Each structure stands twice: as C-alpha cells, then as structure tokens.
Amino acid sequence: MDTDLYHDIYTSEIFDTSQCIWHENNTMNFFHSLLIKLGYEPVQDGHKTWRRGDRTVVLCLVDDYISTTYDYDTPVAYRFDRNTTVITDNYVTSPTLYKVFQLPSSFFGIYHYEPKLTNFNPTRRFNFSVNRIDSKRMLTMLEIALRCEKYPDAETLDFINFNCWSWEGDNSTAEGCNQNFRDAYEKLEPQYKAVYGDTFERIAQTMPFKNHDMSVEQAHLSAYVNMVIETYSSDSSIALSEKIFRALVTPAPWQVYAGRHAVAYLESLGFDTLKDIVNHSYDVMMENKTAAYGDKLVEYIFAGADTFTKLSAMDRTELRHRCLTASRQNQKVLKDMSARWPAEFAAWLPAVIDHIK
C-alpha cells in the first residue's frame, strides 16, 4: 500500500507550524559536516557515533544519547570511556567519565508555535494518544486498561488512540498493527505478564484502538489530563521532544512520563508546569523493574486520576483561565528561546570544536 493507515507521525500541527524536524535535521547536518572536516567517520547507522583514531564523538539530538549503546548493565556515568565526547540536547543528571557538551537550552525554540485550537472543553478523564508502540507505552496502555476494569463506563472514561506502529512490524493494515501489539507484549518481562496477563487478553483483539474521531490537537483539548509519554525515560538523563512541547503550548492540563525530574527541569527553564493544579509526584521517582504499587508507571496513572478528581471539581471558567495563562507563558518561553538560539549556539560552539579537533 502507498499510504499507511495507522500512523501519520510528522503531519500534526506542531510539525507543520514549527518545522521542528527541519530545524533538527539542519542542526544534525551541520555537525555531520563539521565532524567530517575534522577527520571523523560515522561508525553506526543514523550517524550518531563518529570515530577518529581512538577518539569518539556521540552526536544525539532529541533522542536519549544513552540509546546509542546497548550496554544497559554499565552505569551511565561509565557508559563511554574518557576519549568519548557527547554532543546532545539532553540534560544529564549523572556525573560522567566522558565529556558531555549540552546544547544551549534555547535549542528547544525549534518547537515554538501558537496552536490554532484553544477551546479547552474536557468531557473525559485522560487523553492518551500514541503512534509508536514500545514496552513503556504498552505498559501504560495495560495499566490504564487495568484501572478501568472497575468502572462500568470504562469504554467512555478516556479518549484513547493507540496505533501500535512499530519500526519492525507491518504498519499498513489493522492485522499488522494488531500483531505489533502482540509482539510487544511478548517482549515484556515475566513480572509484568503476571500482573497484566488477563488485561492483555481482554484488550488484544481491539488493537489498534481509537475510540474517537478527533485530531490529536482536538483530543488534547477534550480531556482533563493529557498523558504525555516521552520516548525515553531515565534516572540519569532527560530527553525531550515535540510531545511535551505540544502539551506545554496547549491550554489544557498534562503530565509527562520522561526522565527523572523532567518536570522540575522544564520549570527551571521558565515553563509553567501547572504544578499548583496537577499532581506531578511521579517526577521524583526512579525507574525500577516492578509492576506492583509504587512503580513509577503506576504512580503516574494514579497521579493522573488524582489530578482528574481535583480538576473536575474546579470552576470551569477558572480552570480554563489557568490553563490559558500557562500556555501563553510557555509559548513566550519558546519564542524567546527561538530568538536567542543563533547567538547562544555561536557562543557555545568554539569550546566544542576546541575539544574535539
């Protein structure tokens, strides 16, 4: 088939209006050219790892730089040797044996845009919109479904769009996407299957699942809590993408599952995180391998339910005003970042060149 029925990843408003992918690719291409001129050669698909003799440069924007290696057993602090330099927009919270050059935070200005839709009119609890499936998104879907089982109106409790797109699977048919869902489940660790096995059997045949006909922007404005799941989460680094910035500029509440302290990091950059009305308790929790109460993912869902209870009891006019104030502040922060980026990048770059030349 010429078209993919179940995903349209780069055509939503944030991509069309901000042109963030174009800006990201141009920045990557600049570094590719620089590294080639300095005698480095790419040694990995995606041009993220470059070598010259015994020296290595890891170049990773938007994605988590830790994902460039499959050495998951070695602590992040020692993941690369002393001859490695990492260039990234990630915020690294761990000391490292290797040198990390973090791009100026004004890089996030590539996500600046003002959404056309601003009428926040929530009618359901969560909005959970996912294109690509992975273990974390799979577990979030299973946890939401598990917690919904006690509600008689579970099918109308949330707005769900779970597309099951996979890098490795068939994304062109409903049958292919359903198989992607089943394949992702098979990759889960045994302790998760013990908790979610019955829930998986109940919902597997419904995948890919969408219980509304809205765009992602409309869905964001139609639920009390937007469940943002960043691609990467870590205790030692924070990698952000268009997912959280779309939520930040939209006048609607949100919570984000990302690297530890991601919400605090966003607040430190000047963003309004709605912490006075949204329960972000999960933000301080470390990742772990359990699926019992206390797990970060479980806490994330419980925090969302707590936020829904609080927000649904608020005066609707007051709630809309609070969300609109936050979105305008966040749009301003991104606009200011966009304006600062050229000069800050130019001032930051010489030290990087001097280190890797």
Q: What is the pLDDT of residues 302-341, one digit of tens each?
A: 999 999 999 999 999 999 999 999 999 999 999 999 999 9
pLDDT of residue 3: 39
The proportion of the chain whose per-residue pLDDT surpasses 90, expressed as a percent, equals 84
Strands 41-42 and 84-88: what pairing?
unpaired
The maximal CA–CA distance of the chain, rounded, in angstroms, is: 64
Q: Name which residue leads in pLDDT, 291 or 222.
A: 222
The answer, yes or no, to whether residue 186 has pLDDT greater than 60, is: yes
The secondary structure of residue 164, as a DSSP letter, is E
Q: pTM score > 0.95 for this model?
A: no
Neighbouring-strand partners of residue 42: 50
Thinking of the domain 124-330, which architecture would CATH place it in?
Answer: 3-Layer(aba) Sandwich (3.40)
Strands 41-42 and 209-210: what pairing?
unpaired
Q: Which uninterrupted H or E stretch holds 102? A: strand 99-102
- Residue 253, amino acid: P
Count other C-beta atoms under 10 Å from residue 124's C-beta: 18
Q: Are 101 and 355 in contact (CB under 8 A)?
A: yes
Where in the chain are all domains bearing CATH 3.40.50? Answer: 124-330
Mean of the per-residue pLDDT values of the chain: 92
**Among the ranges given (89-93, 187-191, 249-253, 290-294), the one the predictor scored with the smallest mean pLDDT:** 290-294
Q: How many whole angstroms separate alpha carbon 250 and alpha carbon 244? A: 10
Which one of 39-48, 148-157, 259-268 scores highest in mean pLDDT?
259-268
Q: In degrees rounded to 5, what are phi and psi of residue 300?
A: -60, -45
- Residue 256, amino acid: V
pLDDT of residue 4: 43
pLDDT of residue 147: 84
pLDDT of residue 153: 62
